[in-house]
Chains A and B, each alone.
Chain A
Amino acid sequence: AQTVTQSQPEMSVQEAETVTLSCTYDTSESDYYLFWYKQPPSRQMILVIRQEAYKQQNATENRFSVNFQKAAKSFSLKISDSQLGDAAMYFCAYGGSARQLTFGSGTQLTVLP
């Protein structure tokens, strides 16, 4: 069974600075997707970025980028120029042949003005 580990329960960043959220996973599959979802307080889960395992190039979406290290089974999220609206719980998720997503326990990000 796949597992996803987020070892940082809480992180904080100063507005306009850069922060990196960590995620590691365990799998024996070679073909899979990895996702970062954002869940603001009392609001729904929103996709931030996704990475296909077969792609070597790291995914980027505006201020959000990932560092995907397939051999190390590491998938970190970098948020540049942090904004107050980035404050949320961030979940790393694995999607493979099992169809459903396996989520980590989340990292609560606080953005300080």
Chain B
Amino acid sequence: DTGVSQNPRHKITKRGQNVTFRCDPISEHNRLYWYRQTLGQGPEFLTYFQNEAQLEKSRLLSDRFSAERPKGSFSTLEIQRTEQGDSAMYLCASRSLGLAGVTDTQYFGPGTRLTVL
């Protein structure tokens, strides 16, 4: 178990550019979540996948945001035409679906810190 990994750890970009982040979950975890965390606040849910299916998206996820999880393994989060308000830490978490189907523990990656100039 190597934990959840995210790349890159830091990204600085200019307003209007596109950026893509990658998340590798703990192997065999079938649920993968994306959260956004701004300075001094708790993480806010963006979207989640069960295997390769994207099952829910928050209203925070505007049309400029898209997430994929091909083959149900790693996931990518792309932001098009970045804005200064997109500057935040983007966190990925994964968990296995418990046999009882109830919520289980989510394990977080180190995050990707995005700065939009």
CB within 8 Å of B: which residues of A? Answer: 4, 31-33, 35, 37, 43-47, 50, 91, 93, 95-106
Contacts and interface: CB of A to CB of B under 8 A. Distances in A.
B1 to A, nearest CB: 14
11 contacts: A31-B102, A44-B109, A46-B108, A47-B107, A91-B43, A98-B56, A99-B55, A100-B35, A101-B93, A103-B42, A103-B43
Contacts, number: 58
Interface string B86-117: 00000101000000001111111111000000
Question: 7 nearest interchain CB pairs?
Answer: A103-B42, A95-B103, A100-B45, A45-B108, A44-B110, A33-B103, A91-B42
Given A95-B106, A103-B42, A106-B41, 18 more contacts: A33-B104, A44-B109, A45-B43, A45-B108, A47-B107, A50-B105, A91-B42, A91-B43, A99-B56, A99-B103, A100-B58, A101-B93, A102-B45, A103-B43, A103-B44, A105-B40, A105-B42, A106-B40
